[in-house]
Amino acid sequence: MTAVVQLLLVTAAAVGSVALRRDVPVVPNVSAYDGLLFARSARSILAGDWLGQFNGITLAKGPGYPMFIAAARWSGLELKVAEQLVHLAAAAAVALAVLVVTRRRWPAVLGFVFLALDPSNFGANSSDVMRENLFASLGVLVLVVGFLTALAVVRRGRWVWLVTGAVGTGALVAGYWSTREEGVTILPPLAVTVLGVTITAVTAARRGARTTPAAGATPAGALRRGTLLRAGVALTLVAVTALLPLSLVRALNEARYGVAVLNDQGEGTFLRAYADWSRVDAGPRLLRVPITEEQRRAVYAVSPAARLLRTELEDPTNGWRSFECDQPVLADCDYRGGWMPWAIREAAEEAGRLDTAREGQEFFAALSSQITAACDDGRLDCAPALPASVQGIQRAPADLLAENVLVMLWDTIRATSLYEPPAGPVDVPREVRAEYAPAVAELPLSVRAAQEEMAQFQDDRALYEGLAGIYRALVPVMVLAGVVGLAIASFRALRGRPGVAYLPALAAGFAAGVVVRAFLLALIETADFDVPFRYLLPGYAMAVAFAVVGTAAGLPPRPRVPDEPSPLMPRRPRVRWPRTRWSRRGGVPDRSG
């Protein structure tokens, strides 16, 4: 009877979450650099034209989300329902990890219900045609599937589970990496997770502990040579299945556009040129202005490539100046960090240096090399060159950066503005809706139809607001419970007491993911622009997963149940009779001695 109740709870939560998500209207943005870019790329993929005809922004963002949109459209699923199904897969993976390690169904069931009904998926920030929801779910999946794969290695589980987990981990890493430009940020939390599993297994083996299967620790002597073979196979499969899809995307881009990059905003020569320009020392630094007017003038003097951009960049009416500036024609109003990259790209396009992807790569490579040469020979005073993606840390005051890290952590746990349901339809022109329509089937084609859909949604708004109110109070408490549970599990491990082994490794991985995301957002907030609330979603997804896993890690070990099966535990050893001359002939062996 208990199993039936648990199954009904899981089914109701899954079906209810999809129904709740399906009733939230899609409210798309009208930006050619965001939603419309994804929709146009998806439409081209569906037409068999890869990402379409090249323009200055075709390769600016990764193809992961357009490919997902196209896959959802091809399969007949509504886009937001497809996103919710990926979220449910992440919730189910977390529940499976809890079940496999603790052998307790109720924590797994309640954890799934808690994650499945998370109202951040029903908020205004999730109703747009943007990639953060998918990115958040993929991040959770990467860590959990990676954890289960590592568990299959150290527990010497069946090869089918190990191979499936390794291939799944690699494919998920590839999907995550191609969805947003900061895909590399998944590597630190994944490394923490795998390292935690390894340390737990090695520690248990050295102590010669004989913990029960319910507690989940590895018995002494379990880390045999076969484990190293399994680890090697798993790492190889993860690497191959992660790199192969990314290499395929690069090959497609090279065949279609002449450049082998995933995107030309996060890799390639543009980011390096932008970072090099921003490290030039010329005049006072302005907060959130990565390349001041003095820096631009200094580089114009030494770089022929930069001089090609001067007319467009120094135009006081340049539209990119108007963001975050009330009066863009004033002398003290300059390009903020969120808009400077687009201003440079547009200036290069106006100068005829971004007509093709290859030409753009060559132009920005020349710009970077000219700035670097001037820095090296003393014509320019420059800060040291860092990896291009973190060059901005040099213009972020340390005290303000530290403060913003704490702010981002708190905003992530509080889910600031993530639960608010959409209030009304954006005035999206009919022609823009027509551009979305081939890729986003559920989007109304007229403003009137969108208004009617939103009015119907407002009738149920109280349900969504009530759910949001519950989670506003519950999530911080659950995160605190996760911290306490992780502390209890760590204390047990240090004292050598039996506990729910391995789950602390996954909890630590999620915690690392939250911290890495908070640091990245704090750097953006400090050095570039106000962080949009939707950027909190990936860190928030890891925070609520941490709450579930950390709480489960603090549970007492379950009493041993003999011969209880588990897919990630080794198979029961078979009894092998000694070979005799009678047994070789099919007779019964003589065991009398």
> What is the per-residue pLDDT across 144-179, written as a single tens digit (0 to 9) for each?
999 999 999 998 888 999 999 999 999 999 999 999
- Name the pTM for this structure: 0.90
Q: CA 539 to CA 3: how far, in whole Å?
A: 33
More confident residue, 570 or 181: 181
589: phi then psi, degrees, rounded to nearest 5: -70, 150
Averaged pLDDT for residues 174-195: 96
Of 17-31, 142-156, 313-327, 555-569, least confident by mean pLDDT is 555-569
Using the predicted structure, report yes or no on whether residue 580 has a pLDDT greater than 50: no
Q: What is the pLDDT of residue 246?
A: 96
Letter for the amino acid at 116? A
Using the predicted structure, report yes or no on whether residue 593 has a pLDDT greater than 70: no
Mean pLDDT, the chain, as a whole number? 88
Nearest-5° Cα angle at 20, 18 to 22: 65
Q: Token pair for residue 125?
A: 């920030």
505: phi then psi, degrees, rounded to nearest 5: -65, -45
Averaged pLDDT for residues 465-472: 95
Q: What is the pLDDT of residue 322?
A: 74
Q: What is the pLDDT of residue 147?
A: 97
Query: Which residues neighbour 153 within 8 Å (Cβ) at sequence distance 6 or greater?
Result: 162, 197, 227, 230, 231, 234
The percent of residues in the chain predicted with pLDDT above 90, rounded, is 69
Q: What is the pLDDT of residue 339?
A: 92
Q: CA 262 to CA 265: how far, in whole Å?
A: 9
Q: CA 305 to CA 371: how far, in whole Å?
A: 10
Query: Which residues neighbour 301 within 8 Å (Cβ) at sequence distance 6 or greater?
Result: none
Using the predicted structure, report yes or no on whether residue 371 has a pLDDT greater than 60: yes
3-state class (DSSP) for residue 267: coil
Q: Residue-wise over 98-135: b if at least 16 C-beta within 10 A, else e?
A: bbbbbbebebbbbbbbbbbbbbbbbbbbbbbbbbbbbb
Using the predicted structure, report yes or no on whether residue 329 has a pLDDT greater than 50: no
More confident residue, 194 or 586: 194
Q: CA 338 to CA 535: how far, in whole Å?
A: 13
Q: What is the pLDDT of residue 30?
A: 86
| Residues 393 and 386 sit within 8 Å (Cβ to Cβ) | yes
Beta bridge partners of 382: 280
| Residues 432 and 34 sit within 8 Å (Cβ to Cβ) | no
Using the predicted structure, report yes or no on whether residue 214 has a pLDDT greater than 50: no
280: phi then psi, degrees, rounded to nearest 5: -75, 130
| CA atoms within 13 A of residue 165's CA, in its CB half-sphere | 28
Using the predicted structure, report yes or no on whether residue 538 has a pLDDT greater than 90: yes
The percent of residues in the chain predicted with pLDDT above 70, rounded, is 88
Q: CA 565 to CA 578: how far, in whole Å?
A: 28
Q: Highest mean pLDDT range out of 144-148, 335-339, 388-392?
A: 144-148
Averaged pLDDT for residues 217-227: 56
Using the predicted structure, report yes or no on whether residue 251 has a pLDDT greater than 80: yes
More confident residue, 593 or 53: 53
Averaged pLDDT for residues 68-97: 96
Averaged pLDDT for residues 281-301: 93
Using the predicted structure, report yes or no on whether residue 64 has a pLDDT greater than 90: yes
Confidence at 576, pLDDT banded by 50, 70, 90 = low
Of 115-129, 229-243, 413-427, least confident by mean pLDDT is 413-427
Q: What is the pLDDT of residue 451?
A: 86
Using the predicted structure, report yes or no on whether residue 531 has a pLDDT greater than 70: yes
Of 49-58, 183-192, 418-427, 473-482, least confident by mean pLDDT is 418-427
3-state class (DSSP) for residue 317: coil
Averaged pLDDT for residues 440-449: 86
Using the predicted structure, report yes or no on whether residue 209 has a pLDDT greater than 80: no
